[in-house]
Amino acid sequence: MLSTHAAPEETATHHTFTHSLHHLQTLMMSFHPVIVIETVEEERVQHLLDKATQDLRLMAFDWSIAQGMGRLRSSNSHWQDEFSPAGASRPHIIEATAEPLDVLRHIQTLTTRGVYWLKDFAIHLSENALVARQLREVAHLFSYNQSALIITGEQVSLPKSIAHEAVYFDLPLPGPIELKQAIDSAIRSFRGRVQVDLSAEASQQLIKAVQGMTLKQTKKVIAYAAIADRQLNAKDIGHVLERKIQVIRETGLLDYIPPEKNTAQLGGFDNLRQWLNRARTGYSNQAKHFGLTPPKGILIVGIQGCGKSLAAKTIARQWQMPLLKLDTGRLYDKYVGASEKNFRQALSLAEKMAPAVLWIDEIEKSMGQSGSDSDGGLSRRLFGSFLTWLQEKSEEVFVVATANDLSQLPPELLRKGRFDEIFL
């Protein structure tokens, strides 16, 4: 199995899980009847719900239209049971609960406090007004007895009649400890058929290589790299990074360029290069020891073809960091709230890849000043979210924003403290 000695990272990850657990338990105990978790990682939801309900001594059930409702299977041995999919060997299924309307009516008859996890349930609320009305009846009841409905799915869009009852819970991407457990699980599944030769340093590099991926993606990537040549060693880190590039591109939000693939070189720009040489020390261990804040980022302004994009690539290459390009045009979605969600997801992914360089090209086209509300105020909302994140981010994500026209940028973005420097 992997041998790691990253106590600070493990402590931070444990703190993240503890914070998520406490936040979820607080929502349950503060009379929130409907909690929405937008994710495809049902194994992590199961682990979180299992822990949360055990601590609060609540009954826990899960439901899917394929199987109906049953008691939530304990995930205490989740990582040892890597051969069993979620829901395998589950307890007795309650009869006549497969249909959405039937399960809500059954839940309404129960008198004990509990948590009811409804998988991919949002589509039934949109398609059937009777199901939506029944859920409102249950939500009204739960507002008084501290029970909760947990609705999960990749993208959960609730009808307006229900949205005011719901609160969204943000499930962060897996941290180093969870990723290490996923890698260990994949290694156990080889059952001695693959030779594993990883030093402590290589193990840390492997965990870092899969950051930003889901647990399932991590298991698949590790398994493919190992089975391809019947070995898992330091050479496979490059294979994992190649697959990671494909996975991130599949999200459609970020382009990923690893340091090994970045060959950009920049001539001129003497002031920028001198500043970068000084700023680089902000990411050193000495700077962390003295509690210094790493640099936030820079804004590069100039006409097309003057080398702004090349400068962004060169920064990542010289600092030996992965380069993440955010194409703001990909953020926009026809559904209300989906664009903001995509933006949050992209920033969250960038933080999980830290330390990294986040390149936002032609920022004035997505967050620039506009005299009209043709987009319903979406650009202003994205701009506000970006300012808040830029001001408060704690992860080592260095932002390189480029713009062709300085006059199109809001003055709030140009004031001192947003970016460390502005280069023309």
- Residue 37: the pLDDT is 96
Rounded Cα gap, residues 309 and 313, in angstroms: 6
As a whole-number percent, the residues of the chain with pLDDT over 70 amount to: 87
Assign 9 a pLDDT band (cuts: 50, 70, 90): very low
d(CA 142, CA 145): 5
CATH assignment of the domain containing 88 = 3.40.50
Do 163 and 282 share a domain, yes or no? Answer: no
* Whole-number pLDDT of residue 205: 87
pLDDT at residue number 130 = 97
Query: What CATH code is carried by the domain that includes residue 372?
Result: 3.40.50.300
Same structural domain for residues 149 and 43?
yes
Determine the pLDDT at residue 389.
Answer: 87
Per DSSP (E only), the strands in 316-373 are 323-326, 356-360
Provide the domain count of the chain: 2
Query: Do residue 273 and residue 413 come from a single domain?
Result: yes
Domain encompassing residue 142: 31-168
- pTM of the complete model: 0.71
Handedness of CA 76, 77, 82, 88 (dihedral sign): negative
Whether 219 maps to a domain, the answer reads no
pLDDT in tens, 230-268: 999 998 888 888 777 777 777 777 888 877 677 777 788
Residue that terminates a domain, selected from 104, 136, 168: 168
CB count, 10 Å around CB of 381? 15
**Within-domain flag for 286:** yes
- Of 168, 202, 236, the residue at which a domain comes to its end is 168
Q: Are 386 and 366 in contact (CB under 8 A)?
A: no
Q: How many CB atoms lie within 10 A of CB 51?
A: 18
Instruction: Give Cα 363 distance to the centre of its chain.
Output: 23
Q: Per residue in 169-202, pLDDT tens?
A: 988 878 888 899 899 988 888 878 889 998 989 9
Q: Looking at the predicted structure, is the pLDDT value of residue 300 above 90?
A: yes
Indicate whether 29 pLDDT > 80. yes
Residues 316 and 417 in one domain: yes
Q: Is pLDDT above 70 for 79?
A: no
Whether 251 is in a domain gets the answer no
Q: How far is CA 319 from CA 233, 282, 314, 357, in A?
A: 25, 11, 8, 9
